[in-house]
Amino acid sequence: MKKFVKHILWFVLPVVILLVAGELYMRSIPNIYRYKDQWMRSRASDVEVLVLGNSHSFDGISPSRLSCKAFNLAMPNQTFEEDYFMLTNYGPGCDSLKTVIVQLDECNLVLPSLEEMGYNDRATYYRIYMGYDKHSRWSLYNFEMSNPATCWRKAKRYWQAKRDGGNDLGCDSLGFSPQGELQRGGNEDAEFLTKMWQKVSVVKENVRKLTKISDYCRDHGLHMLLITMPYKRSYVANLDRNMVKMVRMVGEQEGKKPHVTYINFQGDDRIADSDFIDNSHLTTSGAMKFSAIIDSVLVAD
Amino acid sequence: MSFNSLQFILFLPVVWILYWYVFNKKLRLQNWFLGAASVFFYACWDWRFALLLLLTTVSSYGTGLLIERTHVRWRRSALSAANIVLNLAILGFFKYYNFFAEAFAEMLRAIGLLPDIATLQLLLPVGISFYTFQALSYSIDVYRGKVPATRRFDAFLAYVTFFPQLVAGPIERATHLLPQMLRTRVFTYETASDGCRQMLWGFVKKIVVADNCAVAVDMIWGDYTSMSGLQLLVGVLLFTIQIYADFSGYSDIAIGCARLFGIELVANFRYPYFSRNPSEFWRRWHVSLMKWFRQYIYIPLGGNRGGLNATMRNIMIVFTLSGLWHGAQWTYVWWGIYHGVVMCVALLLGWNKHYSRVIASRGWVVRPREFAGMLLTFVLVAMGWILFRSGSLAEADNYVQHLLGHIGETEITVGYRALFYSAALLVIDWTCRRREHVLQLNFGGVFRYRWCRWVMYYGLVALIIHELHQSQQAFIYFQF
């Protein structure tokens, strides 16, 4: 038996050492999840406006352009579920919080949870760096190394950023992610969203989650600014008409509540097609323009 | 606690160390420990499930003793029947109540009545079908006098609850596993290291092959109306491999894990997709369940002794029940009926030769007739999986209609990675088809050098870690 135990230990030890070392290294790489968590824990008390949503808001609303103190808590692929978690996790620490900007568009209305979309790595980051306890402490969502392929990509991106002397974090000090001015094309997302739109149960579930966010704002005396982010006109034309109508309907329904203001920016003339890097993400200058529009709305409110 | 969970990675070494180093002095103590660890393993899903497991264990244990004490035939029959009814009632209530309630209501609606039959929000205890059948086999074998009733509750508890095979088999019979619980287990390096290798291969099948297939299959089945005919065909093929890799992977882990504890479990899969006729397939697929049905249903019904009609009737009964065993859903029942029909047709055509050895057991050349048989059996089995995978009969029908309607479309957008792993698995299985499991090494060739073996093991571990992000998929057979 000694021989067996010895062999097992010799075999397992290098694997364990590699995994632990890899995990420690991955956690030492700066990332937006930890940054935002630390920022909110240390400096949230004087925040007046919180921005929630997915990459469209993450790349589209710059708190530095708002005249009140704001922070962008949006993340790529973030769903209403994580929005609600952010609000309940960090909201109580925001003593000066007045307004929560919530994004409502075709993406976060028709797409299912991060795990169902296969974004296990992102679900892992929420668990590790923000303490979202959706998954048990025994699950693999507690380890970055449970997504080795993503770890490799993340490490490569980090090394490249270090070598080029660029921003290795992925966002500015207020949580906004400037995307530059380089334009890309493509309309695959329209087809993808149209396919996802068929799943009525997912839409229903997302509306329920949005209502939870709205209820939280009402219960805590917060104003909810519900916005539909601008898209490229050609892209909107590609989207399923019923899906677009559904977004508008859900937004208008929520907008009837006294603490909610709903604004749909799709087709807004102030944002031109040249302000987008692709179909739905704004360039840095487009984001600045859009942030100024949002600021005017906040000031008017 | 699933085999592919973090808890199990911690649970296994702790239990193993305590089993061999602390509780090894007395067999009874070791059995009690094994039983307690297994109940804990099961209770990790839901502690209430553990109570059911204990109820099944106690009732079968008590029945065994009572049967042996009495020599009056009708009393023995009554006791055995009572235990069967109790166990099947538990199984039926948790697994089939809603199914039969809905079917009954549907029937009443069909004749114009408006029934008010409540369905219940019942949680299905994990692996209930497996341990219920295992416990039942004991009391039936005692009744038949094939195994003496044991007075040792420690051994019986360890027999019913033994954690490696508790939730998804292999379904052990008392004649095989119980005697092992009654005698001192001996640790041997060769058995334990072979067990580790079998576990490793089980994890490869589950995490690398089955989970990759699962992702593609879910995508294809979730959106089959917009997929090409060839893509749907690939979907069927991938599910065929997924269910094999998933379930046989679990069985490999279970058998390998049991070997670490000095216990031998029966083989559950013997390269079933290389079967030359449906009859051979069912002697190679989920062997322990099919043996159970043969021993306790098919043979008591008369088996093949009553002529062709009686044989076909018995086959249909067994396969329908086997479909129902898989789950409370019409698709499973029809899947069973489908295989029953396939078996009957094969019987009528004389396509049921009994092969004792695996295909091309002595060389590499396959006879054309055998190859054709293997191909046809594979196609028939794969068609059956469409019923098994679909959520309803309508879905299965639509899937097939869409597949046939778009058979000319050849665009494949999903599943390349899964196809690669599936093909690799089939090739490896074919190469190793004479072995009990793929990593049962004969230490010949390059594998006589330890470093070569270790390079291979590390390669497989690296592959598992690389594919681990999708491993949070549950084993398919846990739901049964």
B477 pLDDT higher than 90: no
Contact A237, A110 (CB under 8 A): no
User: Chain A residue with minimal CA distance to B9?
Assistant: A138
pLDDT at residue B116 above 70? Answer: no
Q: Touching check for B469 and chain A: CB below 8 Å?
A: yes
Residue B199 DSSP label: H
Q: Which of B71, B176, B286, B326 is catalytic?
A: B326
Cβ under 8 Å to A: B residues 395-414:
none
- Per the prediction, chain A carries an average pLDDT of 87
- How many CB atoms neighbour CB B185 within 10 A? 16
A15 touches chain B (CB under 8 A): yes
**In 10 A of CB B110, how many CB atoms?**
8
Confidence band for A120, pLDDT divided at 50, 70 and 90 = confident
CB-CB under 8 Å, B472 with A4: no
Distance CA B360, CA B362 (A): 6
Q: Which amino acid is at B2?
A: S
Q: Domain-by-domain residue ranges, chain B?
A: 27-185, 192-276+355-479
Reply yes or no on whether B466 is catalytic.
no
A147 vs B196: CB contact, 8 Å cut-off?
Answer: no
B191 neighbors B451 (Cβ within 8 angstroms)? no
pLDDT tens digits along B250-293: 999 999 999 999 999 999 999 999 999 999 999 999 999 999 99
A165-186: b or e for each residue (b if 16 or more CB lie within 10 Å)? eeeebbbeebbbbbbeeeeeee
| Cα angle value A22/A15/A12 (rounded, 5°) | 150
**At residue B8, does pLDDT exceed 60?**
yes
The token duo for A5 is 């135990």
Across chain B, mean pLDDT equals 88
pLDDT of residue B128: 83
**What is residue A109's predicted lDDT score, i.e. its pLDDT?**
86
Domain boundaries, chain A: 43-117+166-300
Tell me if chain B has a CB within 8 Å of the CB of A4.
yes
Amino acid of residue A22: G
CB burial class (10 A; 0-12, 13-18, 19+) of residue B356? exposed
Q: Nearest to residue B235, comparing CAs of B392, B404, B406, B412? A: B412
- The C-alpha atoms of residue B369 and residue B392 are separated, in whole angstroms, by 36
Contacts (Cβ under 8 Å, ≥6 apart) of B131:
B53, B56, B160, B161, B166, B167
Residue B139 tokens read as 């009391």
Size (chain A), residues: 301
Side-chain-side CA neighbours of residue B123 (13 Å)? 8
* Euclidean distance between CA atoms B90 and B171, whole angstroms: 18
Dihedral (Cα; B337, B338, B343, B344), 10-degree rounding: 70
Q: Find, in chain B, the residue whose alpha carbon is nearest to that of A1.
A: B189
- Nearest-Å Rg of the Cα atoms of chain A is 21
Percent of chain B with pLDDT strictly greater than 90 = 52
- On the question of pLDDT at B297 being above 70, the answer is yes
Q: Do B469 and A146 touch (CB under 8 A)?
A: yes
User: pLDDT digit string (tens) for B10-47?
Assistant: 899 999 999 999 998 889 999 999 999 999 999 888 88
Which residue would you say has higher pLDDT here, A184 or B148? B148
CB-based contact, A200 to chain B, within 8 Å: no
Amino acid at A109: L
pLDDT band at residue A266 using 50, 70 and 90 as cut-offs: confident
pLDDT, tens only, B374-399 = 999 999 999 999 999 988 889 999 99
pLDDT above 50 for B471 = no
* Tens-place pLDDT, residues A133-183: 888 877 888 888 888 888 888 888 888 888 877 666 778 888 888 877 676
Q: Which amino acid is at A87?
A: L
Spatial separation of the C-alpha atoms in residues A97 and A50, rounded to whole Å: 8
Q: What is the dihedral of CA A278, A279, A282, A286, to 10 degrees?
A: 100
The answer to whether residue A113 neighbours chain B at the CB level (below 8 Å) is: no
pTM > 0.90: no
Per-residue pLDDT of A179-229, as tens digits, reads: 776 767 655 566 667 766 767 778 888 999 999 999 999 999 999 999 999
Q: Does the CB of A1 have a partner CB in chain B at under 8 Å?
A: yes
In contact, B59 and B39? CB cutoff 8 Å:
no
Domain A43-117+166-300: CATH superfamily, name plus number: SGNH hydrolase (3.40.50.1110)
- Tell if the CB–CB gap between B469 and A149 is shorter than 8 Å: yes
What is the C-alpha to C-alpha distance for residues B318 and B316, in angstroms, rounded to an integer?
6
Q: Residue A4 is nearest to which of B189, B226, B461, comparing CB atoms?
A: B189
What does the block give as tokens for B373? 């048989």
Q: What is the pLDDT of residues B51-90, one digit of tens each?
A: 888 998 999 999 999 998 888 888 888 989 998 999 888 8
* For range A44-73, the mean pLDDT: 91
Asked if B116 and B271 count as a contact pair (C-beta separation under 8 A), the reply is: no
Measured between CB atoms, which of A3, A7, A120 is closest to B469?
A120
Q: How large is the average pLDDT for residues B119-127?
A: 65
Q: Which of residues 14-33 of B touch A (CB under 8 A)?
A: 20
Residues in chain B with CB shorter than 8 Å from the CB of A121 are 469
Contact check, Cβ <8 Å, B469/A150: yes
Query: Is B20 in contact with A1 (Cβ distance < 8 A)?
Result: yes
| The one-letter amino acid at B185 | R
Note the pLDDT of residue B469.
64
Provide the pLDDT for residue B188: 93
Cross-chain Cβ contact A121/B457 below 8 Å: no
Is the pLDDT reported for residue B468 higher than 80? no
Residue B334: how many other CB atoms lie within 10 Å:
18
Distance, in Å, from the CA atom of B230 to the CA atom of B164, rounded to the nearest integer, reads 39
Give every strand in the sheet of A223-228, ordered side by side.
A70-72, A49-51, A99-103, A223-228, A260-264
Q: Cβ of A118 and B215 within 8 Å?
A: yes
Q: Whole-angstrom Cα distance, residue B99 to residue B86?
A: 19
Determine the Cα–Cα distance for residues A202 and B196; give it in Å rounded to an integer: 42
